Amino acid sequence: MTLFDLIDATWPAETCTETGGFLLRFTKGAGSRVSAATLTGPFDAADLDAAIAAMRAAGQRPLFMIRPGDEALDAALAARGYVIEDPTVEFAAPLAELAGEVPPVTAFAHWPPLRIAREVWDETGIGAARQAIMERVVGPKTCVLGRIDDRAAGAAFVAISGETAMLHALSILTEKRRKGLARAMMRETVRWATGEGATRLSLVVREDNTAAVTLYEGLGMKRGLGYHYRAEAAA
């Protein structure tokens, strides 16, 4: 299973359709991963025109995920004035290398998410459309709630496909960051995923999210594949 298969399995779009060598994803208001087109085979200018038209017809801005090997598509979109957005990188590691103690009453896995976990997501920009993605996932999944200073302050979503657990939507309330809560939640993620039979943890993060990159590198996770998006330049 590739990284991109894993993303689709653990963070699925609402609907998908294929046209002219492209897989089009449609999910309003839930971010790029579930609303970007990806290349599935050879394409020409007419195929690209059709993909762009289909996204516009659905009320969605034309957006393409550019993965390793998609250099021809990247060049074709650049020639049309499409600009790079959100360079993103995978971090991954065997679960056995990430295991550690979870401080008492700091993080726990549960499903369905408690209302307080949803409130943390809402406050940190993970709204109803993104939370609906979590409900669509088939297979083992959990919410990890984080607590610090006697209150709920973090939430994350984890789902398993094959032997890999993938972390999504890790959010910490602004005033509770830099206190070690994210690290504790990562440890709880590892504990839960190991119990469900997974052997590896993966996640994707924007390259410019330096705090998150520092956290994952500090845990010993290694960089994997990278990708970016191409979108129409703002008028």
pLDDT average, residue stretch 136-161:
97
Of the candidates 232, 229, 187, the one whose C-alpha atom is nearest the C-alpha of residue 204 is 229
| pLDDT value, residue 235 | 66
pLDDT average, residue stretch 86-109:
96
Residues 101, 201: Cα–Cα separation, whole Å: 17
CA distances from 3 to 90, 137, 161, 178, 203 (A): 8, 16, 11, 29, 9
Span 124-135, pLDDT tens digits:
999 999 999 999
What pTM does this model have? 0.96
| pLDDT value, residue 58 | 94
pLDDT average, residue stretch 166-191:
97
Burial profile 131-160: b = 16 or more Cβ within 10 angstroms, e = fewer: bebbeebeebbbbbbbbbeeebbbbbbbbb
* Mean per-residue pLDDT over the chain, rounded: 96
Span 2-60, pLDDT tens digits:
999 999 999 999 999 999 999 999 999 899 999 999 999 999 999 999 999 999 999 99
Span 63-91, pLDDT tens digits:
999 999 999 999 999 999 999 999 999 99
| pLDDT value, residue 192 | 98
192 phi/psi in degrees, rounded to 5: -65, -50
pLDDT average, residue stretch 182-186:
97
Span 143-153, pLDDT tens digits:
999 999 999 99
**What element of type H or E holds 210?**
helix 210-218
| pLDDT value, residue 233 | 83
Burial class (CB in 10 A: 0-12, 13-18, 19+), 233: exposed
Span 205-232, pLDDT tens digits:
999 999 999 999 999 999 999 999 999 8
Residues 168, 25: Cα–Cα separation, whole Å: 18
Give the residue ranges of DSSP H helices in 45-138.
45-57, 71-79, 115-123, 128-136
Would you say residue 166 has pLDDT above 70? yes
pLDDT average, residue stretch 87-105:
96
| pLDDT value, residue 36 | 98
Sketch out the chain's domains with CATH numbers: 3-91+228-232 (3.40.630.30), 92-223 (3.40.630.30)
pLDDT band at 1; cut points 50, 70, 90 = confident
